């Protein structure tokens, strides 16, 4: 058990990377505390699998150090790190039974046979595979196979962290939540560090205590689901998390108010101060959930034209137009939506400002 | 009238039926026809029932040829399958060397079969052949036209050289189809190179190796051109395999016995292919703990 510390890690799959784009993983520092449940969230190709493989040792980083506790494991081969990994497609050894599959990592490490039996039976019990121990692994369903892959990590007594690389991709939707709950249980019971890579925000937000959002080889923000939702550090985080994503409106700043295409929106005093000091391109960001539609004008309200209403059953998504910019608003199912003109209410506590895509307040 | 429209579909099947008839059914039935008759000339055929079959089954020269054939095919499988798998394992996984290896491997497969025989005649000649001269220079008496063992060694070498590449290519295709995650999982599980081979690569190659075994068994069991050109079945009868013997029979105008023999031959190949197929489908799939 140890915390995992990535120091100045960067990776490129090219032998002589030059341009910024040659790096699959831009330089980053990151600490994974012992016993945490983490998720790495990002679109395909953002470098999250590379980061995971660096931790497990399948990829040796071009630069930087990987520390487990105080020990430098950067050059240590995968088998000698106390890490297990579960892959997107279930990896099972076809010719073996479930028992043999689970025992395989221990047998390779020359653990005595009676100790193996004990561990395998424990893990099988935890994963509800006890009845299938004597069956051939090849004949099982995808979710059972994925449990076996996970079990091969759990049987090793020395494992400090289990890494998951989109493990639920091939699992039927109705079994996904079962397996995810199983993972939660295992995490609570075992106290292992779990790092879970996914591009599905629901999966990440329900599984993890802390989520790292990645894009284009960078970790943009690491925080609790609530932090990611309420105060995205980067416009990408705001856009990627939430459905629909955060609204971003290019704006200017003038005498204590943000100006959106000429419309003035007064800001909180402290936000106005930061906006005055900020350099770079300003954007105003607000979640559709925090906006509301009103019929009368007022303080911190802007006039918009209602363009479309999507009814999603328990709520509605209203697309409005604010001087040529689209702004989406999430309104309760029972609320009447004005037919043409309405006023958008921007609550001061949830209105964010971004300079060059970075949160300033 | 509606029925008529449906029946027209049969015309679509007709070309296939004609092709199959001319390529398989009619020749096979002709052989069956010959195998149950004694034919002296046009219009002079007598039905003899299973007489030719009985005669062939008690023919000791045929027994010898059959034993030789099994020995040959057995050795071919024992040498070519492991060797082909080893070559495939040793081949690079990517880069320009892959193309080079594939071309080199494919070369023997592109040469016409009777030319192969000729190449090896020249190669093993004690007076001008590279192999023959080298072996004799080392003090080894080597002459495949005189010594039965030398003839066997030469035929086996030629066969292995000619056909191992096919096994290697099939095995290589099987290896490349294994997803990377399997190797990564094996590394995390601490598996040795042998364990990776035994529990990942070999099981994943089951399909292609089944095809390789069937192809190599059928081809080697029916082998004719290469040993016929190289040794003509000699010295003596030492390399007279089944099809060489069969051709000797039928060119001697013993069409009845030759036809009966052909049918027996066909049934043997069919039986063994079925056995191999069943065995390879089931190997390593029995429940055990």
Residue B12 makes CB contacts below 8 A (sequence gap 6+) with none
Task: Tell me whether residue A120 is in a domain.
Answer: yes
What is the structure's pLDDT at B79?
Answer: 94
Q: Residue B192's closest chain A neighbor by CA?
A: A108
A188 and A264 assigned to the same domain: no
Angle between helices B60-90 and B242-251 (to 10 degrees): 140
Let me know whether A53 and A198 are in one domain: yes
Residue B161: predicted pLDDT: 92
Q: Please indicate, yes or no, whether residues A215 and A267 belong to a single structural domain of this protein.
A: no
Are both A163 and A221 inside the same structural domain?
A: yes
Q: pLDDT tens-digit profile of A260-311?
A: 887 888 888 888 888 888 888 888 899 998 988 888 888 888 888 888 888 8
Q: Within a domain: residue A239?
A: no
Do A13 and A118 sit in the same domain of this protein?
Answer: yes
Cα separation, A231 vs B62, in Å, equals 89
Domain-embedded: residue A226 = yes
Residue B176's pLDDT is: 92
pLDDT band at A216; cut points 50, 70, 90: confident
Residue from B179, B190, B207 whose CB has the most chain A CBs within 10 Å, to mutate: B190
Among A211, A234, A257, the domain boundary falls at A234
State which residues of chain B have pLDDT below 70. Answer: 1-6, 252-253, 284-289
Element (H, E) at A66: strand A63-68
At B126 the pLDDT is 80
Residue A199 belongs to some domain of the structure = yes
In a domain, A241, yes or no: no
Please give the pLDDT value at position B289: 36
Domain residues for the domain of A128 are 4-234
In a shared domain, residues A77 and A166: yes
**Least CB-CB distance to A79: which of B182, B190, B200?**
B190
Strand order of the β-sheet with A358-359 is: A247-250, A282-286, A352-355, A358-359
pLDDT at res. A24: 85
CA closest to A55 among chain B residues = B188
Q: Nearest Cα to A282, choosing from A359, A184, A338, A193? A: A359
CATH number at residue A212: 3.40.50.300
pLDDT of A6: 86
Domains of chain B, start order: 66-282 (1.10.3720.10)
pLDDT of residue A312: 85
Residue A240 within any structural domain of the chain:
no
In this predicted model, what pLDDT tens digit does every residue of A119-150 receive, in sequence order? 898 888 888 888 888 888 888 888 888 889 88
Handedness of CA B48, B53, B58, B62 (dihedral sign): positive
CATH number of domain containing A319:
2.40.50.140
A63 within some domain? yes
Mark whether A184 and A255 lie in a shared domain. no
Which of A209, A234, A259 finishes a domain?
A234
* Residue of chain B nearest A98, judged by CA positions: B289
Q: Look up residue A97 and give its DSSP letter.
A: B
The answer on A182 and A83 residing in a single domain is yes
Q: Is B42 helix (H, G, I), strand (E, B) or coil?
A: coil
Q: What is the pLDDT of residue B286?
A: 52
Among candidate residues A234, A260, A284, the one where a domain is terminated: A234
CB contact under 8 A, B287 and A83: no
Q: How many domains does chain A have?
A: 2
pLDDT of residue A1: 52
Cβ distance A91 to B185 less than 8 Å, yes or no, reads yes
**One domain, residues A102 and A191:** yes
Query: Are residues A131 and A206 both part of a single domain?
Result: yes
Mean pLDDT, all residues of chain A: 86
Co-location of A18 and A113 in the same domain? yes
CB nearest to B187's CB, from A58, A109, A152: A58
Co-location of A50 and A194 in the same domain: yes
Q: Is the pLDDT of residue A183 over 60?
A: yes
Average pLDDT on A75-81 reads 83
Q: Which residues are within 8 A (CB) of A101 and not within 5 positions of it... i.e. 6 or more apart?
A: A92, A93, A137, A148, A151, A152
* Mutation for B interface: A55, A73, A91, most B CBs within 10 A: A91
How much is the pTM? Answer: 0.77
By CA distance, what is A97's nearest residue in B?
A: B289
Residues counted in chain B: 289
Is A242 a domain residue?
no
Residue bearing tokens 């189809």: B177
């Amino acid at each position: 058990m140890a915390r995992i510390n990535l120091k100045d890690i960067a990776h490129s799959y090219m032998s002589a990377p030059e341009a910024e784009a040659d790096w699959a993983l831009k330089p980053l520092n990151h600490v994974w505390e012992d016993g945490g449940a983490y998720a790495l969230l990002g679109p395909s190709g953002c470098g999250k699998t590379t980061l995971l493989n660096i931790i497990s040792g399948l990829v040796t980083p071009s630069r930087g150090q990987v520390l487990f506790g105080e020990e430098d494991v950067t050059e240590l081969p995968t088998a000698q790190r106390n890490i297990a990994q579960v892959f997107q497609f279930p990896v099972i050894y076809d010719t073996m039974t479930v028992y043999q599959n689970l025992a395989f990592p221990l047998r390779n490490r020359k653990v005595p046979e009676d100790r193996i039996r004990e561990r395998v039976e424990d893990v099988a019990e935890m994963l509800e595979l006890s009845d299938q121990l004597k069956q051939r692994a090849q004949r099982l369903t995808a979710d059972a196979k994925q449990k076996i892959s996970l079990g091969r990590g759990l049987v090793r007594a020395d494992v400090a962290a289990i890494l998951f690389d989109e493990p639920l991709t091939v699992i039927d939707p109705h079994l996904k939540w079962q397996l995810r709950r199983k993972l939660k249980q295992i995490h609570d019971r075992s106290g292992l560090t779990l790092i879970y890579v996914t591009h599905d925000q629901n999966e990440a937000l329900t599984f993890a205590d802390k989520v790292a959002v990645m894009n284009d080889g960078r970790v943009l923000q690491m925080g609790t689901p609530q932090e990611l939702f309420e105060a995205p550090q980067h416009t990408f985080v705001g856009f990627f998390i939430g459905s629909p994503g955060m609204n971003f409106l290019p704006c200017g700043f003038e005498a204590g108010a943000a100006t959106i295409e000429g419309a003035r929106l007064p800001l909180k005093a402290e936000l106005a101060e930061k906006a005055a000091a900020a350099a770079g391109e300003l954007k105003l960001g607000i979640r559709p959930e925090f906006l509301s539609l009103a019929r009368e004008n007022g303080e911190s309200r802007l006039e918009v034209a209602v363009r479309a209403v999507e009814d999603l059953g328990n709520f509605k998504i209203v697309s409005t137009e604010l001087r040529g910019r689209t702004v989406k608003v999430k309104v309760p199912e029972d609320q009447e939506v004005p037919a043409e003109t309405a006023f958008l209410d921007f609550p001061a506590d949830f209105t964010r400002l971004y300079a060059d895509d970075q949160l300033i307040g | 009238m509606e029925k008529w429209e449906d029946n027209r579909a049969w015309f679509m099947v007709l070309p296939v039926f004609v092709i199959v008839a001319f390529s398989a059914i009619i020749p096979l039935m002709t052989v069956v026809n010959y195998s149950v008759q004694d034919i002296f000339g046009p219009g002079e055929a007598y039905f003899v029932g299973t007489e030719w079959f009985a005669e062939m089954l008690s023919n000791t020269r045929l027994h010898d040829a059959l034993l030789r054939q099994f020995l040959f095919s057995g050795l071919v499988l024992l040498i070519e399958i492991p060797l082909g798998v080893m070559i495939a394992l040793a081949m690079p996984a990517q880069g320009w060397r892959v193309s080079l290896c594939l071309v080199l491997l494919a070369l023997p497969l592109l040469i016409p079969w009777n030319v192969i025989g000729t190449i090896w005649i020249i190669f093993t000649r004690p007076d001008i052949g590279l192999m023959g001269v080298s072996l004799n220079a080392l003090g080894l008496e080597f002459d495949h036209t005189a010594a039965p063992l030398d003839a066997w060694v030469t035929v086996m070498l030629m066969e292995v050289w000619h056909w191992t590449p096919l096994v290697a290519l099939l095995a290589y295709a099987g290896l490349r189809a294994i997803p990377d995650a399997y190797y990564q999982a094996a590394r995390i599980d601490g598996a040795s190179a042998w364990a990776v081979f035994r529990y990942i690569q070999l099981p994943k190659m089951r399909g292609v190796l089944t095809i390789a075994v069937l192809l190599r068994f059928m081809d080697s069991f029916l082998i004719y051109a290469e040993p016929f050109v190289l040794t003509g079945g000699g010295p003596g009868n030492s390399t007279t395999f089944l099809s060489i013997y069969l051709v000797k029979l039928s060119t001697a105008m013993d069409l009845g016995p030759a036809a009966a023999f052909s049918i027996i031959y066909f049934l043997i190949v069919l039986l063994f292919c079925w056995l191999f197929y069943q065995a390879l489908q089931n190997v390593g799939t029995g429940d055990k703990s």
